Amino acid sequence: MNSEIIIEVEGLYKTYPGAAQPAVNGISLAIRRGGFFGLLGPNGAGKTTFLSMLTGLLKPDSGRMRIAGLDIIDNLNEIKHRLSFVPQDTALYPTLTAGENLAFFGSMQGLSGSSLRMRIEECLNISDLNNFADSRVDTFSGGMKRRLSLVIGLVNKPDILFLDEPTVGIDPQSRHFIYNTLRKMNAEGMTIIYTSHYMEEAEALCDYIAIIDHGSVIAQGEIGHLLSQHGAANLEQLFLALTGTRIRE
């Protein structure tokens, strides 16, 4: 694995207006280029807020964030060309076809002409939706929508792919398909940062994780190292040991 740091975060803070506690409370971490980084945490821990700041969707109150050496706030437009974000919702236009959704988001990523057409073709292949290119998304199953949502994130061949719980509520076949696709993209050199509540999934996919609770990183490192450090048999045990068993709203 490449040891070059692609994302560096130092002392990041964010408090929403009216909130008593910060959503992100002094996070500092570094992510290696080509890594598969899992961001884990209970509900309301600050994962999505942190991810939103890394993707430029939200401004931090303070702290520094750099991607490939560039400050995110100062170079947002340039950085946006290098990354892609797959939100928790499928984020598709239901009355457009799969091909039209890809064409639109591809155009918004700056692709056009033959390069756009080629990427649409490739993405339909990756998602195994070739036969549904001209079908409206509102006729798709949940799994098909997830697959399409994922490949829209790949249309611009990003250096860094951010995914916010990409496998929520889908069938095992589609989930398996998404695992394989992400592994393949990661093997080709794409840096992947993703959040999930599925510990088995994170254990199988990630080489490095950070567990966040109450806006702070409470543990980070390689999974094997963390498990042995805390004497846990698996990631779920480790997660519950660090975040407790109290149900979060």
Partner 1 sequence: MNMHKLLASISKEAKIIIRDREALLLLFVMPLAFVLIMSLAMRDAFKEKGRVIFPIVILDMDGGRVGREIINAFSNTKYFRVDTSPNNEERVREDISRGNHKFAVIIPAETTRKAVSRAKAQMGTTNYKQAGALSIRLMADPTIQAVHRSIVISSLNRILQGIETKMLIEQFAAIAEEATGINIGIQQGEAAKIIRIFSEVTDEYTGSAGGNAMPTSVQQSVPAWSLFAMFFLVIPLSVAFIKEKQQGSLLRLKSMPVPAWVVLAGKMIPYFVINQLQFVFMMLVGMYLLPFLGGDALEIGNGPGGIALLTISASSAAIGYGLLIATFCKTSEQATTLGGTSVIIFGAIGGIMVPKFVMPSFMQKLTVISPMSWGLEGFIDIFVRGGNINNVLPEASMLFLFATVCFSIAALRFRFMFR
Interacting residues with partner 1 between 90 and 119 (CB under 8 A): 90-96, 100, 103-105, 107-110, 112
Q: Give the residue, chosen from 56, 60, 143, 215, that forms a contact with partner 1 under the rule CB under 8 A.
A: 56
Question: Contact 25/46 with Cβ under 8 angstroms?
Answer: yes
Residue 203 CA to residue 113 CA, distance in Å, equals 40
Q: Compare residues 127 and 220 and give the one whose CB is closer to partner 1.
A: 127
By beta-carbon proximity to partner 1, the closer residue of 152 and 192 is 152
Q: Quote the least distance from Cβ 2 to partner 1, whole Å.
A: 24
**Which CB, 23 or 92, lies closer to partner 1?**
92
Q: Considering beta carbons, is residue 1 or 57 the nearer one to partner 1?
A: 57
**Nearest by Cα to 153 from 246, 89, 87, 71:** 87
Judged by CB under 8 A, the residue of 49, 84, 167, 181 near partner 1 is 84
Structure token digits, residue 230: 């805390």
- Tokens read off for 64: 């520094």
Among the listed residues 57, 118, 187, 218, the single contact to partner 1 using CB under 8 A: 57
DSSP 130: G
Shortest distance in whole angstroms from residue 98 CB to partner 1 = 13
Is 214 within 8 Å of 21 (Cβ atoms)?
yes
Select from 23, 27, 65, 83 the one that contacts partner 1 (CB under 8 A): 83
Q: How far is the CB of 55 from partner 1 (least distance, A)?
A: 5
Instruction: Between 105 and 239, name the residue whose CB sits nearer to partner 1.
Output: 105
What is the C-alpha separation between 249 and 169, in angstroms, rounded? 19
Indicate the residue among 4 and 89 with the shorter CB distance to partner 1: 89
What residue type is 242 in one-letter code?
L
| Rounded Cα gap, residues 215 and 24, in angstroms | 4
Residues in the chain: 249
Identified binder of partner 1 from the candidate list 50, 85, 194, 239, rule CB under 8 A: 85
Query: How far is residue 136 from each of residues 90, 95, 132, 241, measured CA to CA in Å?
Result: 14, 6, 8, 45
End-to-end CA distance of the chain: 38
Q: Which stretch binds partner 1 (CB under 8 A): 21-29, 34-42, 55-63, 165-173?
A: 55-63
Least Å from the CB of residue 52 to partner 1: 9
Between residues 91 and 227, which has the closer beta carbon with respect to partner 1?
91
Give all strands of the β-sheet with 216-222 in edge-to-edge order: 83-86, 160-164, 191-196, 36-40, 208-213, 216-222
Binding site for partner 1 (CB under 8 A): 55-57, 59, 77, 80-81, 83-96, 100, 103-105, 107-110, 112, 136, 152, 162
